[in-house]
Structure 1
């Protein structure tokens, strides 16, 4: 597999450069999740980083590489919602449910 050295900005990984595997299109994943073990033996904390363009070319405005920025919200936000997908487990119940 091919990898690319990608810088991280913000959060605990600020200033580090890690090799990140790239997909078939040559781009790294849109989100990068890093599990950090808990010192007390509890569930690990997950750090979430979002992919953003490092810069743009002058002529066509194409991205010139990628970097990851820290997302303190931790994974909330844009998610594909297909009609055949299961409802979000965080939402209170199924869509269309009425009590009574």
Structure 2
């Protein structure tokens, strides 16, 4: 498997560079989740980073590489939004269905 040294920006991992495994397309995953154990023995906190372009080339505008930016909302922005989907009526993603 191939890996690429990918920089992290923002959050607790700011400024670090980690080797990230590349997928079959040659790109790193769109999201990178890092579980951080709780000191009190509770459930781990999960840090979520999203893949963003590192830069673009001059004339053609091709992506030069990828970096990860900290996403403090985590799971909230990870769901696909289809134009025909109904919006969530309650926080947490559960709809209030009066029909049953």
Q: Tell me the TM-score normalised to structure 2 length.
A: 0.83
Residue 98 of structure 1, CA deviation: 1.2
- 1:6 counterpart SS class: strand
Residue 62 of structure 1, CA deviation: 1.1
Aligned to 1:50: 50
Residue 59 of structure 1, CA deviation: 1.4
RMSD: 2.0
> Which runs of 5 or more residues in structure 2 are unaligned?
83-87
Greater helix fraction, Structure 1 or Structure 2? 2
Aligned to 2:21: 21
Aligned residues: 92
Greater strand fraction, Structure 1 or Structure 2? 2
Supply the distance in 1 between the matched residues of 2:59 and 2:81 (Cα, whole angstroms). Answer: 35
